[in-house]
Copies of this chain bind each other. A is one copy, B any other.
């Protein structure tokens, strides 16, 4: 097998157009030339985040942007509700604990979305909550949580912090319209960039809250960043080439049209689910799947990690593994970012072939055919 297919939910493939932009001649970041590029990226991000407010660009991973939100919005001992339905739910919890907050954990079964009325019940039980944290798309379980509905509950209550790492650019998640208070993402997902940038936007009331938040911060001081990013390129050295790339990828997304970007992800996700179902495979998130990736249980007796190793080492295809209790049981096929119809076809055809190789009896082409039926919708 000669070509490599990166079908993991981050890092995701980089379009040539973006790679070429990142190869442009290095320039100094305290110049009008760079400020102009930086500002274009900022404008593109506002559209993507659906906000009139600033979207700050941080030289960090997405986790850095999550930490920034905690450090800028809370004070020691603040009570927060953490909706934890996977590895990234755990991450909110770990950050909250590391910063001395008092998190209430709302555990959600892996593969399920949180129920809105359960959140409501918890909010009533804890009227002193200062924040609610969630993933819009929980990458580890391929679940989409009901962020829009929960935002209605937090409207006049605790701040609502949304990890949008595999949601922003995958589904419509407008910060202003839905009334979210924090939305963060990272560069190596739907932004079609290498890892290295974190992005964060705050609502007006979240900005107001920063004035009273007593947790320590320096590198992630969002007021300092906002002031410096509005007039230039931020307080500290920005990741210049990644920002060249961000401008290019945002331009690509705008050219495709955000609605079409979202429709493409939704279609790839539906096609992959249809394929898995046609092959008799159980879905990890049957009820509220994220269009970022599709989790699929492999048949009993098949070690999913061995299958993934074989796909990577013999078929040159990188899919993602199951984590913790899902380890060895599921595979995750990503759709996020620079992916198209024939990535779905490749993933499904490869899955059929590798399962046959591992002794599973299945008819070739059956999953592919189910995917094709869905993918045909784009041919209008």
A214 at the interface (CB under 8 A from B): no
Contact across chains for A364 and B353 when beta carbons are under 8 A apart: no
Asked if A21 CB lies within 8 Å of chain B CBs, one says no
Question: Known contacts A3-B338, A342-B3, A369-B363; is A376 also within 8 Å of B353 by CB?
Answer: yes
Closest to A378 in B: B1
Q: Which of A31-89 contact B (CB under 8 A)?
A: none
Interchain CB contact under 8 A, B339 and A2? yes
- Report the bound CA distance from A71 to B264 in whole Å: 55
Q: Are A379 and B353 in contact (CB under 8 A)?
A: yes
Proximity bits, A335-372, B CB within 8 Å = 1, else 0: 00011111101100110111011000001111111101
Q: Does residue A241 face the partner (Cβ distance < 8 Å to B)?
A: no
Q: How far is the CA of A346 from the CA of B264 in the complex (A)?
A: 17
Highest count of chain B CB atoms <10 Å: which of A3, A345, A365, A368: A365
Q: Judging by beta carbons under 8 Å apart, are B357 and A372 in contact?
A: no
CA A155 to CA B373, docked complex, whole Å: 56
A15-43 vs B, CB cutoff 8 Å, 1 = contact: the mask equals 00000000100000000000000000000
Q: Min CB distance, A337 to chain B, in Å?
A: 9
Interface size on A, residues (CB 8 A): 40
- Give the chain B neighbours of A346 by CB distance below 8 A: 342, 345-346
| Bound-complex Cα distance A251 to B365 (A) | 35
How far does the Cβ of A354 sit from chain B's closest Cβ, in whole Å? 8
The answer to whether A379 and B341 have CB atoms under 8 Å apart is no
CB distance from A170 to the nearest CB of B (A): 14
A5-B342, A354-B379, A356-B376 given; 15 more Cβ-contact pairs under 8 Å: A2-B264, A23-B23, A315-B341, A315-B379, A317-B342, A346-B346, A349-B349, A349-B368, A349-B372, A353-B376, A365-B365, A365-B368, A365-B369, A368-B368, A368-B369
